[in-house]
């Protein structure tokens, strides 16, 4: 495999960059529905404890350069697919690297970003995007997409079977790729094993799943046997509400930090 000598130099440790690339944090694979080369960013592979910021930044620049080389054959723009599957905020949140990459790309790669796809994105993310969109540049807002289901994904209907990274590191990266990154729907257990009956309304199924989840996590053992069902329910929902609010607040603060660090976006 040949690594293009793009970033070779006295300020760069080639071995470290190769190691960073092999971690699979980002890789170029295929094109989106508009033909823009897709750069996948796997948030689950980020670990701020095991990386050197400068090296990680160089490796990211290398990957972006390779994607730009692909994009030069088409529109000259790339699309970023931010894969949040198996993301853990405590383990994988690397704000320093995100901030460095964002500021570097914003200042040096203007008008190179065609779209950003954040997947999986829940309703809360789209709600927050709607809230902060008046504060953002309209061009930026139009580039952010939050697909909530597989049908909203920007992938071409028949993606190329080969891992056409067209990078010099394709073979080494192919070992870290997950072509099946799209999570499949879990049908859940059958009815005779405690699952939902067939034909039930989806909203009822979801409510049932939520109730079961709350009972399992919040209800203290033996309380129902003493006949304090109403109090248990109240405490369960109160705890759930508190937990939900805490998570919402954390997510909101996190998004505010992201938006503050996304000052690059208007010029991308």
Positions that interact with other proteins (CB under 8 A)? 1-11, 14, 18, 22, 58, 61, 75-77, 104, 107-108, 110-112, 137-139, 142, 168-169, 171-172, 175, 266-268
Phi, psi of 115 (to 5 degrees): -165, 155
Name the minimum Å distance from CB 223 to other proteins. 53
Name the minimum Å distance from CB 136 to other proteins. 11
Name the minimum Å distance from CB 157 to other proteins. 24
Q: Smaller CB distance to other proteins: residue 6 or 235?
A: 6
Q: Is the dihedral of CA 173, 183, 33, 59 positive or negative?
A: negative
240-264 as b/e: b if 16+ CB within 10 A: beeeeeeeeeeeeeebeeeeebbeb
Q: Smaller CB distance to other proteins: residue 7 or 96?
A: 7
Region of residue 86 (left: phi > 0; alpha: psi -120 to 50; beta: else): left
Number of Cα atoms under 13 Å in the Cβ half of residue 159? 17
Q: Smaller CB distance to other proteins: residue 42 or 196?
A: 42
Phi, psi of 119 (to 5 degrees): -140, 140
Helix (H, G, I), strand (E, B) or coil at 220: coil
Name the minimum Å distance from CB 190 to other proteins. 41
Q: Smaller CB distance to other proteins: residue 21 or 196?
A: 21
Token readout for 26 is 């980002």
Q: Smaller CB distance to other proteins: residue 105 or 128?
A: 105
Name the minimum Å distance from CB 20 to other proteins. 13
């Amino acid at each position: 495999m040949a690594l293009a000598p793009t970033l070779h130099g006295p300020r760069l440790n080639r071995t470290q960059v190769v190691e960073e690339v092999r971690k699979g944090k980002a890789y170029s694979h295929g094109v989106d529905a508009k033909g823009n080369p897709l750069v996948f960013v796997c948030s689950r592979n980020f670990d701020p404890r095991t990386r050197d910021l400068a090296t990680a930044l160089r490796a990211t620049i290398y990957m972006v350069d390779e994607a730009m080389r692909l994009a030069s054959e088409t529109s000259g723009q790339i699309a970023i697919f931010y894969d949040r599957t198996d993301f853990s905020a405590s383990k994988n949140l690397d704000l320093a690297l995100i901030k460095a990459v964002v500021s570097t790309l914003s200042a040096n790669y203007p008008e190179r970003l065609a779209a950003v796809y954040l997947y999986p994105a829940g309703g809360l993310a789209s709600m927050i995007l709607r809230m902060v969109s008046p504060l953002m540049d309209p061009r930026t807002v139009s580039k952010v997409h939050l697909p909530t289901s597989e049908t909203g994904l920007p992938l071409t209907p028949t993606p190329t079977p080969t891992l056409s990274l067209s990078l010099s590191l394709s073979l080494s990266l192919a070992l870290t790729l997950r072509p099946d990154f799209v999570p499949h729907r879990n049908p859940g257990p059958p009815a005779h094993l405690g699952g939902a009956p067939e034909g039930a309304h989806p909203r009822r199924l979801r409510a049932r799943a939520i109730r079961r989840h709350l009972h399992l996590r919040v209800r203290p053992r033996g309380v129902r046997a003493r006949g304090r069902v109403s109090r248990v329910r109240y405490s369960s929902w109160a705890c759930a509400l508190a937990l939900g609010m805490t998570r919402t607040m954390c997510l909101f603060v996190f998004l505010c930090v992201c938006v503050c660090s996304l000052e690059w976006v208007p010029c991308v």
